[in-house]
Amino acid sequence: MAEIVAEVRQGAYYDSVVLMQLQRALAALPGVIDAGVVMATPVNLELLAASRLRPDVQAGPDDLLLVVQADSESKGREALSQVDALLSRRRAAATSTFLPKSLESAARTLPEAKWVLISVPGRFAGGVAREALRLGKSVFLYSDNVPLEEEISLKRAALEQGLLVMGPDCGTAIVGGIGFGFANRVRRGAIGLVGASGTGLQAVTSTIHTLGGGISQALGTGSHDLSAEVGGISARQALDVLRRDPETSVVVLISKPPDPSVAGPLLAAAQGCGKPVVVDLIGLASGTPRLGNLHFATSLEETARLAVDLAKAPSIPKNAAPEVRGYLRALFSGGTLASETLLVLQDVLHPIATNVPLRAGQRLDDPLHSRGHTVLDLGADEFTLGRLHPMIDNDLRVRRLRQEAADPETGLILLDVVLGQGAHPDPASELAPPIAEVVASGHPVIVVLIGTDEDPQEMASQLERFQSAGGLVFTRLGAALDEIMRRFVPPAQALPAQIPLELFKETPAAINVGLESFYDSMLAQGASAVHVDWRPPAGGDERLMGILAKMKT
């Protein structure tokens, strides 16, 4: 009959790779049916129970729990008696060199190291990361289960110091041609990536490599960076790095669904980088494949293909379209074009208000007065009560045109002109003169002209008269919105301290704290690294850890 034998080692710490290898070694011993080697966290205890390996012992999250299911109790105890020998054999095979016991001693051992790779348990990871920042090192933080308030504090500290914290829960990065964590081997090239999705980064970088492209940098942010609480701190820093990096000609921004409050500012930062940016923010409905320098993708494969194609394309000098200062005021005669405009622009123009809201908080309090960027359906009930629809009667739009031109906050005016049966017989006769006045006052006007060459209003004539009045005329809404985004270019975001590009130019040297496999990977790629023989401070005692932390401040 099978017997379960267990042993608890209080305060014993080993990284998860060591535990996995020890578990496999125990399971391979004669007479052993199954084995479990875990730190005795509540989750691990539940997993043992699900595998019918949960022993009747008392153990805490800082204790090492060894469990063996064997043919007999004697076989189980014999297996556990070999644990120390198995561990010693592994240590002897792993290294015969001195391992520093702390970050400080590791930094003295490898003074050129500018990165610290951290993969210790989450409850300790924040303290290690804080120590790294204190030593002036940027951080690749693989550890998960780091409290959100700790992440915010770490990233704000890094932002002030001109350092970068990638993570927590950051599984992948490529810096200076060297992969951190679970990165793939890819060629160097002109495509830089920012990703809040580790497997997403791997999928896209691998496909770029397969398609013949190459990677300049691939900077992870961690899965919580684009939450409302964190606010995309690491993503904004990474975009700033790629904006300034002369080796990067195309940027890729990829993430699981970001918080709506973060998506807009992040896309504005991407737009402000001045390079083509392929955007795959999963769950974001952009409503258009392209908007200014932003190219929207709907899958990881499309993201990679777009990036490679853009990197191959010859660079086209920007035209001299003047940048707009102020807000967009869009005056539509119908709700569909207004709604599509809102769908496309709501994530890149802020603040945006409308009388046809798609999201909470977009409702314009007073439709008679614009606020921020404003998109109006002048054919809505509040405007047509007691008057003809604006496709027939232009009086309301003429008045609103002049009202917006008189507003010092107005930067650009957009309006549609819809031709066809039943519409105004000659809209240019009424709209072209006020458009000429508005343009003369210094406000550009974009006209979206919807119709065909067979419409009774003679589309060619309408187009010519709107152009003669100084309007920029487009026959597709998408082209007009693209022009708007070329003009509403946000300035590059000012950061408290910029991360030096030297951090990404040279082959990185790193201090590794946690999984030895990450250290081995760095060496295998030709990077310099040192591994810290880390143990939980104060044996994991929370009270003593607090005292030690205060002594360092």
DSSP state, 179? E
3-94: CATH architecture: 2-Layer Sandwich (3.30)
Dump the DSSP string for 158-187. HHHHT--EE-SS--EEEETTEEEETPPP--
Q: What pLDDT was estimated at residue 282?
A: 81
Q: Which residues contact 524 (CB under 8 A, 6 or more apart)?
A: none
Q: What is the pLDDT of residue 161?
A: 97
Q: Is the pLDDT of residue 343 over 80?
A: yes
Q: Tens of pLDDT along 229-287?
A: 999 999 999 999 999 999 999 999 999 888 888 888 898 899 888 899 999 988 776 67
CATH superfamily, region 327-487: Succinyl-CoA synthetase domains (3.40.50.261)
The one-character DSSP state at 363 is B
The pLDDT assigned to 264 comes to 82
Q: Which residue has the tokens 């979206």?
A: 448
- The string of pLDDT tens digits covering residues 64-112 is 899 999 999 899 899 999 888 887 765 555 554 678 999 999 999 999 9
Contact assessment for residue 198 and residue 220, using Cβ atoms and an 8 Å cutoff: yes
Q: Are the C-beta atoms of residues 13 and 77 closer than 8 Å to each other?
A: no
Question: Which residue has better confidence, 540 or 488?
Answer: 488
Per-domain residue ranges of the chain: 3-94, 98-169+508-553, 171-316, 327-487
What tens digit of pLDDT does each residue of 308-339 get?
999 998 765 555 567 888 999 999 998 899 99
Distance (Å, rounded) from C-alpha 449 to C-alpha 416?
Answer: 6
Write down the pLDDT at residue 468: 97
Domains 98-169+508-553 and 171-316 share a fold: yes
User: CA-to-CA distance for 262 and 231, rounded, in angstroms?
Assistant: 6
Average pLDDT over residues 374-378: 96
Q: Which residue has the tokens 């005021």?
A: 329
546 confidence band (pLDDT: 50, 70, 90): low
pLDDT score at 42: 87
What CATH number was assigned to the domain covering residues 98-169+508-553? Answer: 3.40.50.720
If DSSP codes are grouped into helix, strand and coil, which group holds residue 309? helix
Q: What is the pLDDT of residue 475?
A: 96
Question: What is the CATH code for 171-316?
Answer: 3.40.50.261
Q: Using pLDDT thresholds of 50, 70 and 90, give the confidence band for residue 453.
A: very high
- For residue 544, pLDDT beyond 60: no
The share of the chain scoring above pLDDT 70, in percent, equals 93
Average pLDDT taken over every residue of the chain: 90
11-25, 147-161, 185-199: the lowest-pLDDT one:
11-25
Half-sphere exposure of 405 (CA within 13 A, CB side): 18
| Confidence at 542, pLDDT banded by 50, 70, 90 | low
Question: Which pLDDT belongs to residue 317?
Answer: 55
84: its two tokens: 């120390």
What pLDDT is stored for residue 277 in this prediction? 96
Please check whether residue 170 is in contact with residue 198, taking contact to mean a CB–CB distance below 8 angstroms: yes
